[in-house]
Structure 1
Amino acid sequence: MVYLTLAAAITAEIIGTMLMNQSDGFSRLWPSLGTLACYLLAFTLLAQTLKTMEVGVAYAIWSGAGTAVVAVIGVLFLNENASLPKVLGVLLVVGGGALLNLGGAH
């Protein structure tokens, strides 16, 4: 169950980040409100996750997965470049989260 809660927190954070991109510096009302709602939900779900998972592991997975998915969305849908340093950086972030998870997420 803890991984479902964490996955929901990650999803809310990703959606919030995409809405933030659409908010044009918080100058557009609905994307701005959506950003705030998604981040409130993400942090609430992350807080619930922290009841049963170590903070270092949960935060590493949360931030790493969010970073990786947002980077992929940027490349696929927002015309961002997929340079070698960017790809290697995302792989390192994901690999670090996986190592932390293997070392003590339970």
Structure 2
Amino acid sequence: MHWLYLGIAVVLEIVVAISAGNAKGFTRPLWTIATLVSGGIATYFLSLALLTFDVGVGYAIWTSTASVGIVVLGTLMFGQQLGWKKLLGIAVVIGGVVGLRLSGGA
């Protein structure tokens, strides 16, 4: 169940990033509310996952997988460029997540 909680937290963290980008410095009320609410719910699900995961491992997996998801969505939905440097960064992040997972802690 802890992986499900972590997955929900990752998806909601992606929502946080997209909402925060559209909130324009919290000058757009609906996007601001979306940012704050999704952030709160994401943190709640992360806290449930951290009942099983080591804090460092769970938090690192949460932030890194959400970061990769944001980069991929930025490319697919917002026309952002995905060059070799971003692809290399994604590969390094995925390698780090696999390494953390293999280290135990969950």
**TM-score clears 0.5:** yes
Matched, 1:23 2:23: yes
User: What is the deviation of 1:69?
Assistant: 0.5
Equivalents in 2 of 1:100, 1:5: separation in Å? 18
The runs of 4+ residues in structure 1 deviating greater than 2 Å are: none
Task: Supply the RMSD in Å over aligned alpha carbons.
Answer: 1.0
Equivalents in 1 of 2:94, 2:65: separation in Å? 7
Equivalents in 2 of 1:105, 1:71: separation in Å? 27
Give matches, 1:43-62, under 5 Å: 43-62=43-62
Q: TM-score, normalised by structure 2?
A: 0.94
Q: TM-score, normalised by structure 1?
A: 0.94
Instruction: Return the letter of the residue paired with 2:49.
Output: T
| Identity in percent | 32
Instruction: Return the letter of the residue paired with 2:26.
Output: F
- Match of 2:86, SS? helix
Deviations 1:63-90 (A, max 9, x none): 1110000000111111211111111001
Extract unaligned runs of 5+ from structure 1.
none
User: What is the deviation of 1:3?
Assistant: 0.3
Extract unaligned runs of 5+ from structure 2.
none
User: What is the deviation of 1:36?
Assistant: 0.3
- Match of 2:48, SS? helix
Equivalents in 1 of 2:88, 2:4: separation in Å? 27
User: What is the deviation of 1:91?
Assistant: 1.2
Partner of 1:2: 2
- Match of 2:100, SS? helix
Equivalents in 2 of 1:7, 1:86: separation in Å? 23
Instruction: Return the letter of the residue paired with 1:50.
Output: L
Partner of 1:105: 105
